[in-house]
Amino acid sequence: MEIQNRVIGKSGGAHSERGKPVSVILADDHPVVVLGLQEIISQTSTCQVVATAGSVSEMMSALRRNSCDLLICDYAFDNGTDADGIRMIERVRRAYPGVKIILLTAFENKLLARRLMLRGVNAFVGKRSDGVEILPKIIETIFENERYLSMRPFIRQNKEGRVLTGGEATVMKDDLTFREWEVMRLLERGANVIEIARRMNRSSKTISAQKISAMKKLEVKNDVELIHVARRILWNWERL
């Protein structure tokens, strides 16, 4: 499968002090991922891991306790109660504007990447792209004030080449708005409309409207069908 890797433009941000290794915090709810990242970073003399975290709360605590030049983190955390996703990125960017961010995620979606980079993410790296293996090069790239994108394109055709849509549960996330995609993702994880509204800092009415819009696009009739389709989409995406 073809992989998209490209530098996509300038992005401001503070550099680490000349001659000092880049201080790195790693955050992912899968310990094996953290160990793998540590192994990759240990192979370069330009970076030093100063802390690791397995949840959003642990990540924020590590940022408070340590001087950090670079945060490498996942987009979705299945543990803890702190908001993940775009709310997490916005929180980090507000509190630590000088920290560069590499988002390492299984959610390889162009719309998601675009929105997150507009919010200050310096690199968007799909876990199933080759970006993980060349992580030291990506770090070098973003400290040259560039931004980096590495992801596998999502193919939305069946074996006969027919485009699959709607209720067949293979609709691309780009067919949903960013907010609709976030609502669907959180519903699949078991949150209700009120909880999603609180996490996204929106009204319940707004979240309900976004859920209804997503249901129409996915051609489902109720919450059970919506969650079923959401799970199939996300599971298919993970297997790419």
Structural domain boundaries in the chain: 4-151, 166-239
> Do residues 102 and 141 make contact, with C-beta atoms less than 8 angstroms apart?
no
CATH number of the structural domain 166-239:
1.10.10.10
Express each pLDDT in 169-206 by its tens digit: 334 444 667 778 788 888 888 889 999 898 888 899 99
The CA distance from 125 to 152, in Å, is: 9
The answer to whether 4-151 and 166-239 have equal CATH topology is no
> Do residues 182 and 199 make contact, with C-beta atoms less than 8 angstroms apart?
no
The CA-CA-CA angle for residues 237, 201, 65, to 5°, reads 80
Q: Which fold has domain 4-151?
A: Rossmann fold (3.40.50)
The CA distance from 92 to 71, in Å, is: 9
Express each pLDDT in 95-152 by its tens digit: 999 999 999 887 766 777 778 888 889 998 877 666 677 888 889 889 988 888 875 4
The CA distance from 117 to 161, in Å, is: 32
C-alpha 180: how far from chain center: 16
Average pLDDT of the residues in 21-44:
92
Residue scoring higher pLDDT (42 or 133) = 42
